[in-house]
A and B are shown apart, each in its own frame.
Chain A
Amino acid sequence: MDNALWLALLVTAAGTFLMRLFPLLWMKRHLERHDDKDALEAIPNWLGILAPLMVAAMLGVSLVPKTIDLSAWIATAIGVVATVLAWRKTQSLGLPVFAGVAIYGLASLALSL
């Protein structure tokens, strides 16, 4: 990489970091202006609603299989059902993910035969 490319890389890296950092500093200042015990209430309402929706959007994006065909969609649906069932049974984080991946893998394998 030449100097200009290194500069572009450094500016992109610094910009990405600042986009993660500055909103934190802004919010901390916002919270300091409110009483500490009201911290949760001090979060703007729209921000509290947007956060879970961003996670839901990430879920929607990540559900799309790499190769889009019927068997991939079926395997995805089976994996989703397995994950939700495992979550309902355990209410934990790791086990449902493991179960989802394992069942998805088996379904993918079975459907590719």
Chain B
Amino acid sequence: MKSQTATDQISPWLLGLRDAMPLLGGYIPVAISFGLISIQAGFSTFEAIIISTLIYAGASQFLFVGMIAAGSPLWLVVILSLLINARHLVYAPNLAPWIGSNRWWPWLMHGLTDQIFALAHTRLPELADEQRLGWFTSASLTAWFSWVGGTAIGAVAGETITAQWPLLGEVMAFALPALFLVLIVPRFTSREWYISLIVTIAVALLLTVYGLNNAAIPMAALCGALCFYLARVGVISGDNTDG
């Protein structure tokens, strides 16, 4: 991202809105799909919107409506929906040094999705203390509203949209990998990071191709972390003089 002087010249609210714009390309098509699937699973438009507003976590929402439609026991639905979100446990601690004591911060954690974390982890350190709350509020609300709005559109008109512009959803969805790429490219700074990032991306990609979407993120990150430590102690690089 641009230097701190660029972030100084623009209101943090506007900057948050601008930074969150690429997320919309990924959020809206997925939210439209969720709205459509919810209606097909027997939920009303209002219920689909409430699920997106309150749970606000893509994968677990799809699981939630899918398992309920399949008649699964509710306790199992709740446990599995929460398990999918367990990866969120590591997000907030990484942002904590840049989060102040304002009483709104805890409530804003509702908006700490995968993508907002990725964005905030890069942007918050670049901002001045007094800019961070405004930036995070703006970016997270933009993403949240787009998710809820996309769900509403999908519930009301999802079938018509997907039938009329089948390619649009796929093309817009590329905004998400493009955004993650831009966030991760500056991290390729050393041998350890090269090895661990490439392994992580490859493992996540392979697990997803083989249908293990929900396990992909935590499993791939753990594999990458293992490679990072192995590379650091020289086992992979051959620096280990004992070997």
Interface residues of A (CB under 8 A from B): 1, 4-5, 7-13, 15-17, 19-21, 23-28, 30-31, 39-40, 42-43, 46-68, 76, 79-80, 83-84, 87, 91-94, 96-98, 100-101, 104-105, 108-109, 112
Across the interface, B90 reaches (CB within 8 A) one of A39, A40, A51, A65, namely: A51
B89 touches A39 (CB 8 A): no
Min Cβ gap A101→B in Å is 5
B118 touches A24 (CB 8 A): no
Residues of A within 8 A of B117 (CB): 51, 54-55
Is B66 among interface residues, defined by CB-CB distance under 8 A? Answer: no
Given A9-B54, A52-B187, A60-B204, verify A21-B180 contact (CB < 8 Å).
no
Min Cβ gap B185→A in Å is 6
Given A5-B74, A43-B97, verify A59-B109 contact (CB < 8 Å).
no
Against A, the Cβ 8 Å flags (1 = close, 0 = not) of B26-56 are: 1000000000000000010001001100111
B180 touches A59 (CB 8 A): yes
Inter-chain CA distance A60–B181, complex, in Å, is: 9
- Closest-by-CB residue of A relative to B125 is A40
Given A57-B220, A60-B205, A84-B185, verify A79-B78 contact (CB < 8 Å).
no
A92 touches B2 (CB 8 A): yes
B204 touches A97 (CB 8 A): no
Interface residues on B, range: 35 or more
Given A4-B74, A104-B171, A108-B170, verify A79-B177 contact (CB < 8 Å).
yes
B183 touches A109 (CB 8 A): no
Is B182 among interface residues, defined by CB-CB distance under 8 A? Answer: yes
Residues of A within 8 A of B233 (CB): none
Min Cβ gap B91→A in Å is 7
Stretch at the interface among B146-154, B209-217, B234-242: B209-217
Given A19-B88, A84-B185, A93-B22, verify A60-B54 contact (CB < 8 Å).
no
Residues of B within 8 A of A51 (CB): 90-91, 94, 117, 121
Residues of A within 8 A of B175 (CB): 97, 100-101
- Closest-by-CB residue of A relative to B202 is A60
B109 touches A64 (CB 8 A): no
Residues of B within 8 A of A63 (CB): 177, 201, 205
- Closest-by-CB residue of A relative to B114 is A58
> Can you show 20 pairs from A to B with CB atoms below 8 A apart?
A4-B74, A9-B50, A13-B55, A24-B109, A43-B96, A52-B121, A52-B187, A53-B220, A54-B118, A55-B118, A57-B203, A57-B216, A57-B218, A58-B115, A59-B177, A61-B205, A80-B181, A84-B185, A96-B182, A101-B178
Inter-chain CA distance A97–B216, complex, in Å, is: 23
Inter-chain CA distance A60–B177, complex, in Å, is: 8
